[in-house]
Structure 1
Amino acid sequence: MITRRISLRQIPDDSAVHTVTATFVYSPLRPLEVRLSLPGSVGLARTDWVFARDLLLSGVRGPTGVGAVSIWPGPGESGTHLYIALSDRDDCALFRTDRDELTVWLLRTLALVPRDQEACHLGVDELIDRLLAR
């Protein structure tokens, strides 16, 4: 499992900025997904968000996402930022973080489970074997 705590700057509607520490988690047991855990102080009903690792990988290069999670890179004062917009039926929030810091974490996930090799870690063959043995 690869875990990284990263500072996110929440950008509310009133242009005030609030910094929170979020935790990104990647597990080879669930190789297609990333878990983002936020503190309760961000004002969202949900504090745990699970979405495709590919969404995050694509978002560091260009705008991506439809629905609950959207990600896009943007310029910043000291480099390139990454914007993450989260929304559900009742709430939405926009966060900004350092793209390079998140990219380093993503590269670690790719070293553990390379892109297009996720199926090897799903255990589907073992499940089929067990089901057919019954």
Structure 2
Amino acid sequence: MSTVIEQAVEARLVAAAPRMPTIPASLCYDRDDPFAVRMRFPAPATLEGVEVCWTFARDLLVDGLEGPAGQGDVRVRPYGYDRTVVEFRAPQGTAVIHVRTPAIRRFLRRSTALVPRGREGRYGNLDHDLAVLMRGA
């Protein structure tokens, strides 16, 4: 059984123009980092022309399907019947995208089958991760 899940999603960039362009993105989940989700945007989809990857809590994505969630650089909230808004804030600016909610739910079902919610602590290597973080201190 694979320990990594990657799922392509279609994102629509919310902009001032009436037509929202579609940009490719992917959601990634790795059992070795059980609390995190990554959302990747390929180089052609970014202003800088380099791949961009945002890492945030899986619970933030789950909570954002039901109501506004997040207070930091990543915020998630429902939008209408079948869309979810994901907002990314950086010093360079803010990007707001819409993703189809069924695609997110499908991704979360797959990640939960791999690592059930509430059991994340049984996976990954917290001692190793803390040692890596403390190495520079």
Which TM bucket (shorter chain)?
Answer: 0.7 to 0.9
TM value normalised by structure 1: 0.84
One-letter amino acid of the counterpart of residue 24, structure 1: L
Q: Indicate the residue corresponding to 2:134 in structure 1.
A: none
One-letter amino acid of the counterpart of residue 78, structure 2: P
CA contact (8 A) 1:10 1:42 kept: no
Q: Runs of 5+ in structure 1 lacking a partner? A: 128-134
TM value normalised by structure 2: 0.82
Q: Which moved more, 1:52-61 or 1:41-50?
A: 41-50
Cα-Cα RMSD = 2.1
- Secondary structure at the aligned position of 1:55 is classed as helix
Cα shift at 1:90:
1.4
Distance 1:126 1:22, change over 3 A: closer
1:69 aligns with 2:71: no
Q: Indicate the residue corresponding to 2:37 in structure 1.
A: 34
CA contact (8 A) 2:65 2:101 kept: yes
User: What does 1:1-134 correspond to in 2, within 5 Å?
Assistant: 1-40=4-43, 41-43=45-47, 47-75=52-80, 79-124=81-126
Cα shift at 1:11:
0.8
CA shift digits 1:53-81 (9 cap, x unpaired):
01001111111011210100111xxx421
Cα shift at 1:14:
3.0
How many corresponding residue pairs? 125
CA contact (8 A) 1:82 1:96 kept: yes
- Secondary structure at the aligned position of 1:15 is classed as coil
Q: Runs of 5+ in structure 2 lacking a partner? A: 130-137
